[in-house]
Each structure stands twice: as structure tokens, then as C-alpha cells.
Structure 1
């Protein structure tokens, strides 16, 4: 079988500037991969590189020719294990670039069989948890407004970015306009261990569900300190990058947070989920700020998860790709006629 491959860089402006403890983002630069078979059927995948993990759009574009050459050499989009093995052998690291190729191959394979990807895996779409909607750092009144807008739009779960000297004020403002919402918080490594333990106490009083990555990933003993003393469950994100990290965090957190842009592919993501389960951890799948070219693929994993944080495409001013319906936070995997990941160019 002959496969044809191509990729392009896309700049995606955000609807609003998005701020976390490490900085502010006004656009997302993704790289979209397309893999087509002899019959003209095309699989789509996306890379959303993060400089925090050493990737940029330039590095993605630099390694994609070698990765796509490997796909063409294998030549069979259904040889998913062989292809992902080849990708890992060709490029060491560069997980976002590998993830884009993995997603496109999975999309094509499921399309060729005429089924949604989650159905190919035998998953129950009704088991998918609702996705959270993220409210980034901002002035307190603007955080209040954004939280109120999210509640009005029907999102039942809010994820609030923290890591300032106004954290208590921000959570109180959100609770005023979202008294019934499930709230999670993410400090993105901004707190000290003692600060995290202290803040967990009053966050628990405000009925927060859990705290994500309270301390630096470079401080594993600090994470353990927080886990052993926190009034709330702890999720590990920056501390949980690859499969080998899962056993290391098993006695330092309650929830493992994987992202396709960290795992390097869908098969590796499923291995991480299984490994986390084997170590007694709950599992969440998060995202970068991404097009539906990749978010739609992550959504296919959600029946395997306890929590989902897949709102990356919802933060864009405009996404050239349609995907899985996430309106109101519900993950709409029920459309059996939408084969593959569900990602489609909006002009299709």
C-alpha cells in the first residue's frame, strides 16, 4: 500500500489571552499532519508543541519528514504498533511531533474500517466524563466574569488557574458566581510544599475537588510532602510526562494527568492509563491549547478516564477543524457515523 503524507503549520489566535503561573499566551501554533491512502481517504493529526517540554513548531517541522518517511516505509495504517515503534526509533523525544503522526494514522485506520476510534477500541461512549473548562489567571473581576460566562454556557466543571498572591480572592470570586460548579485548581508548579498544604485547607472549605501540580516537578519529595498532608487529592501533571514516571509518582499523588503531547502517541497514552490503574491511581487526560485535529483524538480515550480536561480548542477564537462535540462540557462520542477521531476541516 502506498501512503502519501504532508504537514502544515497553523497559527490559531486565542479568544482571550490565556495566563498561567509561567506566562501568557495569545495564540497557539500547531502543526497539522495529513496521511492519505491510495483511495484518497485521509487521516488528520495535530501537534501542539510546548516549550516547557522542549518543543516548538520549528522542532516539530524539523523532525516530521523523518517520522513521515517511517510511516510511508511501513505502508500499512493498520500496523499501529509497528508504526509507533518506528516513530520512537527514528526520533528520540519530540513527543508532540510523534503524537501528531500517531493521531493521523489512528484516524486513517479507523476511517478505513468505518468506525469511530473509541469503537475500534471497544469503549463505551456513555462512560466518558465531562470535560472541565479552564479559567486562566487574570484580574479578579475578569476571572469572575469568565467563570460566570462558563457557567452560563452550561459547563458543570471549572478548572481555575492559581499561583498568585490573590489565590484565595480568585477562588472566592469564582464561588460567588459558580456556587454549584465542580471546581478544580491548577497551580502549575507555583507553590512551595508548605504553601500548598496550607492552601489545600481553605480550598477544601470551598468545596474544591482536587489540586493539580502544586509544586515543582523538580521537587519529587516536595510533592510527596504535599500528598501526605493535603486536605485535597493531588493530581500530577508536569511530574507525569512519560510512562516511566507513573511508578515514580504512585506514592506522591492521587491522580495521574497524561496528555497526548507528552506521551508521544495514542498507544503510549493507553499504556500510561493501564499503568496508572495498576498502581492504584485515578487518571485524567489534559491538553495544551490545541486544534480539534488533536483534541478529537484525546476525546476518544475519555471512556477510560476518571477526569477530562480537554477544552483546548474551546479557548481558540476560531478552529479550522471541527471535532467531537464538547458543548456544555459533555463529550459527545455517541455519533457512530463519524469515523476516525471525528476531526474534520470545517469546509468539508
Structure 2
């Protein structure tokens, strides 16, 4: 089989400026990859790189020609092991670029088999948890308004970004606007261990479910301290990047946050999920702010996890691609009308 490959950059405006403790953005920069077989069937994937992990759109575009040339040499989108080995020969890092290629190959392989990706992997769509919807950092009034918009749209689980001097005021405003919602918070490494422990105590009073990455990933002892002495379960995001991180995460956190863009794609993410389970961790699937061309593949993994934070495409003003429907946060895999990931150009 011969394969043709191509990629293009997308700049996607966000519905609201998206803020976390490290900064904010008004657009999401993605790179879409297409892998097409002899019959004209195309698999679609996308990279949503993060400078925090050493990647930009420019670095993705720089390595994709070599990564895609490796896929063309293999010529079989279903041979994920051989493709991964071939990509390793090209570059060991650049996980978002590798993720885009792996997503496109998984999409194409499942499409050629005539199955939606979750069935290709043998997963139960009824086991998928609902996704949370993220309330990014902003002034208090706008965060309150964003919360009301999310509740009015039917989302029952919210993830609130923290890491400011106004954190208690933010959570109070969000809880007032969403008295019945499940709340999770994410500090994106902004607190010290002692601050985090103190914060979990008042966060528990607001009925917060868990706290994500309260302290820097470079301080695993600090994460362990928060887990041991804090009042809430602790999820590891920046601390849980690759498969090699899982064993340490099992010692310092309760939940592993697995993201395709951190680990290199759905094929590698499945390994992280199973390793986390073996280590006694709960698992969350997370994402970057991304087009459905990236998010949909993660949604097909949702039956394997306890928590989902796959709202990356829901935060966009408009997405050129459709994927897995998520009405009111429900990851509705059974509603997919085509095989593969279900991604296609929006009409």
C-alpha cells in the first residue's frame, strides 16, 4: 500500500480568552495532518503544541516532513508498532507532532476496517464519563458569566483554573453561579506545597472534587506532601507526561492526567492508561485547546478512564472539523456517523 501525506497550519479563535496561571491566549495554533491511502481514504489528525513542553507550531512543522516520510515508508497505517519505531528513528521528542501522525494513522486504520475507533479498540461507549468544561482565569465578573453560560449550556462538571491571589473569591463566585455543579480546580503548578494544603481545606468547604497539579512538577516531594496532608485528592498533569513518569506519579498523586499531546498520541496514551491503572491510580483524559481533529481520538479512549477533560474544541469560536458529539458534556460515541474517529470537515 502506498500512502500520501500532507499537513497545514490552523489558527483558531477562542470564544473567550483562555487564561491559566502561566498566561492567557485568544487563539489556538494547531497543525492538521492527513494520511491518504491508495483508495482515497483519508485519516485526519492534529497537533496542538504547548511551549511549556518545548513545542511550537514551528517545531511541529519542522519535524512533520520526516515523521510523515517514515509513515509513507511503512505504508501500513494499522502497524502502529512499526510506525512508532520509525518515528523514533526520526525524532524522540516532539510529542504533539507525533500525536498528530498517530491520530491520523489510527483514524485511517479504523476507517479501512469499517469500524469507529472505539470499536476497533474493543471499548464500551457506555463507560465513557462526561467531560468537564473549563472556566479559564479572568476577572471575577467574567468568570461568573462564563460559569453561567456553561451551566445554561447544560454542562454539569466544571474545571476552574486557579493560581492567583483571588483564588478563594473565584471559587466562591463560580460556586454561587453553579450551586449544583461538580467542581474541579487546576492550579497549573502555581502554589507552594503549604499553600496547596491550606487551599484544599477551604476548597473542600466549596465541595470541590479534586485539585489538579497544585505545585510545580519539579517538586515531586511537594506533590507527595499535598497528597498526604491535603483535604482533597490530587491529580498530576504537568508531573505526568510520558510512560516513564507513571511509576513516580503513583507515589505522589491519586489521579494521572493523560494527554495525547504530552505522550505522543492515542497509541502511547493507551499504555499510560494501563500503567496508571496497574499503579493504583485513577485516570483522567485531558487535552489542549484543539480542533476536533485532535480531540476526537482522545474521546474514543474515554471508556478507559474515570474522568474526562476533553473540552478543547468546545472552547473555540468555530471549529472547521466535527468529531465526537458532546451534548451537555456527554461523550456520545454511539452518535458517530462514520468509521474511524468520526472527524470530517464541518458543513
What TM-score, normalized by structure 2, do the two folds share? 0.99
Q: 2:182 matched to 1:170?
A: no
Q: State the aligned residue count.
A: 347
Q: 2:100 matched to 1:104?
A: no
Q: Is the 8 A contact 1:100 1:294 kept in 2?
A: yes
The residue number in structure 2 matching 1:307 is 307
CA deviation string 1:96-137 (max 9, x = no partner): 000000000000000111110000011000100000000001
- Aligned pairs (5 A) from 1:46-65: 46-65=46-65
Distance 1:44 1:96 in 2: 14
Q: Is the 8 A contact 2:325 2:336 kept in 1?
A: no
Q: Is the 8 A contact 2:325 2:335 kept in 1?
A: no
Distance 2:230 2:85 in 1: 40
Distance 1:106 1:267 in 2: 8
Distance 1:61 1:222 in 2: 36
Distance 1:89 1:250 in 2: 30
RMSD value, Cα: 0.8
Q: Is the 8 A contact 1:43 1:105 kept in 2?
A: yes
Distance 1:335 1:157 in 2: 21
The residue number in structure 1 matching 2:135 is 135
Distance 2:278 2:54 in 1: 29
CA deviation string 1:42-91 (max 9, x = no partner): 00000000000000000000000100010000001121221122112211
Distance 2:85 2:209 in 1: 38
Q: Is the 8 A contact 1:283 1:305 kept in 2?
A: yes
Distance 1:193 1:304 in 2: 31
The residue number in structure 1 matching 2:325 is 325
Q: 2:262 matched to 1:253?
A: no
Q: Is the 8 A contact 1:212 1:234 kept in 2?
A: yes
Q: Is the 8 A contact 2:324 2:336 kept in 1?
A: no
SS for the counterpart of 1:318 is: coil
Unpaired runs of 5+ residues, structure 2, are none
SS for the counterpart of 2:39 is: coil
SS for the counterpart of 2:148 is: helix
SS for the counterpart of 1:104 is: helix
How far 1:336 sits from its partner (Å)?
5.7
The residue number in structure 2 matching 1:204 is 204
Q: Is the 8 A contact 1:84 1:265 kept in 2?
A: no
The residue number in structure 1 matching 2:227 is 227
The residue number in structure 1 matching 2:7 is 7
CA deviation string 1:10-36 (max 9, x = no partner): 100111111100001010110000000
SS for the counterpart of 1:250 is: helix
Q: Is the 8 A contact 1:286 1:310 kept in 2?
A: yes
The residue number in structure 1 matching 2:180 is 180
Distance 2:313 2:268 in 1: 22
The residue number in structure 1 matching 2:339 is 339
Q: Is the 8 A contact 1:115 1:336 kept in 2?
A: no
Q: 2:208 matched to 1:242?
A: no
Structure 1 stretches of 4+ with a deviation exceeding 4 A read none
